[in-house]
Structure 1
């Protein structure tokens, strides 16, 4: 006996819509195609599953039994299909991890390498980059295994644990009037030209975060997301910039730059780990999440 999934879905749509026409609209078919599939299903089974009348269709007792069995069959088939999301093509376990750029540059390479070195069976990690503000939503909507974001507090709708902490710092070229300062408040240096990106990625989002600490807008000359390119522009005197301290340290000597601590409270960032639901995590995903959790302890980068 050969009954394809499309026929079962069409039959389910007819039962739930109590109409061949509604089933056709739901499944993207013409009504005659739905009628033909139901007729072939009845011929294959040797029983009548739908009673036709002028108001539509009704399942027979056999049809009602088939309806519940068909739902169960399709659920099982969907669970088989989901295997492709959980495993790589070579059969290894696969974990989908989404993180912001700072996390990917600053600490994920070391932590992932250490995790992989402790595993008897290697897992494949698919690492996606996204903005922190989008990551909790992506974990829920796209059913990603683990997210890493920074925020002023845990995001709603996901289960979060604190991860690393870092600071954003002001970066100026050597010889700049601010070079001798150990720390500043951002509002004290508003008169200088700035190069974006900013924490929260756009100037508008940054102002929502830090605007309460400023008495006026910043003069943003150029927006550039690439850290190295931003440092090159700072060296050429095109403006001063704000960037994660751990990333700034990479370029200070190379480009003749100086970092200056920011005294503003928003300059300290808290990273969080998040999952959709810890109770439904797969074993491999849970192992990585728990490993990351042991690396937290509010460590600073």
Structure 2
């Protein structure tokens, strides 16, 4: 007869904590995320298992893994929390609004080129929604969404999405960045292979641009003459200005950082220089109401 008393003995805070433990991998990180003492979180989880009469997690040295019963509860808990949040948003029209929280991962290209204005406009339309944005390389974006670290992700379309649903977000164009007096600066366009006799300033090793340029160099039968790795487009522009080499970056990033430094950019003719950025999610149907709002808004901004 457990089902008759279950509604009275379950609470949303504990269910939210349960989901957090799964997504964070450890009780400590989940407790920190939910702003609850670790001892109180442990007590809640133990009481939940007692109420349900099953073990929900296997405690391992590196973290906590769901049991089969835990997998079942996870599905229902997420759906219950989704419905409660949806109800709150809809009732917000009749009260003072309900705040929502979206966790998002994006690669450097998206963060520099498009997200500042897109998130500003979204925030103006939905001031009740807060966004936690973290920069990761495209492969890290996919893994983070798979692991439940984020609700939404933006990465390069040539990234292995590991089966995640995706839609197009934006398009960009890669150009060759160089000093204005560089011998190639007189060209209107360039094939990437024509640049391989020059020294290069590269982005960090895990970036999609870095991996693509190394692959293109190998395809051309040469090695990229890389002098230095830098963490971002602004640093690349400064290194190119200091005559450390040339670089590859999106056209809009050049307009934001390189032009003011007196640098020059020449478009690439290679097919891979015309890129798409994509939005990825774990399960579109399971997005929270506020995550759905942002997801729908961003995919309508295609350009």
1:1-301 aligned within 5 A:
6=46, 9=49, 92-119=99-126, 122-142=128-148, 144-152=150-158, 155-197=161-203, 201=207, 205-206=211-212, 209-211=215-217, 213-296=219-302, 299=303
Match of 2:26 in 1: none
Q: Deviations over 1:68-114 (max 9, x none)?
A: xx99xx8799669979xx89xx9621111111111111111111111
Taking the aligned partners of 2:285 and 2:195, their CA distance within structure 1 comes to 48
Give the total of aligned pairs: 240
Cα gap change, 1:203/1:118 in structure 2, threshold over 3 Å: closer, same or farther?
closer
Kept after mapping to 1: 8 A contact 2:227/2:245: yes
1:54 aligns with none
1:193-227 per-residue CA deviation (whole Å, 9 max, x = no partner) reads 11111796278733564245422111111111232
Offset at 1:150? 0.8
- In the superposition, relative to structure 1, how do residues 251 and 5 fare at CA in structure 2: closer, same or farther (>3 Å)? closer
Task: Tell me the TM-score normalized by structure 1.
Answer: 0.68
Q: What's the offset of the Cα at 1:155?
A: 2.2
C-alpha separation between the residues in 1 aligned to 2:203 and 2:281?
Answer: 28
Check 1:78–1:293 CA distance in 2 against 1; reply closer, same or farther (3 A cut). closer
Within 1, Cα distance between the matches of 2:74 and 2:233?
A: 47
Deviations 1:136-195 (A, max 9, x none): 221121252111111227723211001100011101101111110011111112111111
Looking at structure 2, the residues matched to 106 and 257 of structure 1 have their Cα atoms a distance apart, in angstroms, of 18
Q: Distance in 1 between matches of 2:280 and 2:188?
A: 35
Distance (whole Å) between structure 1 residues aligned to residue 229 and residue 184 of structure 2: 21
Unaligned runs of 5+ in 2: 1-8, 10-42, 62-68, 89-96
Listed as ranges, the gaps of 5+ residues in structure 1 are 17-22, 29-69
Which structure has the larger Rg over C-alpha atoms?
Answer: 1
**Tell me, what secondary structure is at the counterpart of 1:192?**
coil
Contact 1:163 1:295 in 2 (8 A): yes
Residue pair 2:137, 2:208 contacting (<8 A) in 1 also: no
CA contact (8 A) 1:136 1:157 kept: no
Rate the CA distance shift 1:242–1:217 in 2: closer, same or farther, 3 A: same
Partner Cα separation in structure 2 for residue 163 and residue 79 of structure 1: 26
Change over 3 Å in CA distance of 1:174–1:279 after alignment to 2: same
Q: Which residue of 2 aligns with 1:34?
A: none
Maintained 8 Å contact 1:10/1:27: no
Q: What CA distance in whole angstroms lies between the structure 2 residues aligned with 1:191 and 1:104?
A: 31
Cα separation, 2, equivalents of 1:272 and 1:27: 35
CA distance in 1, matches of 2:294, 2:280: 12
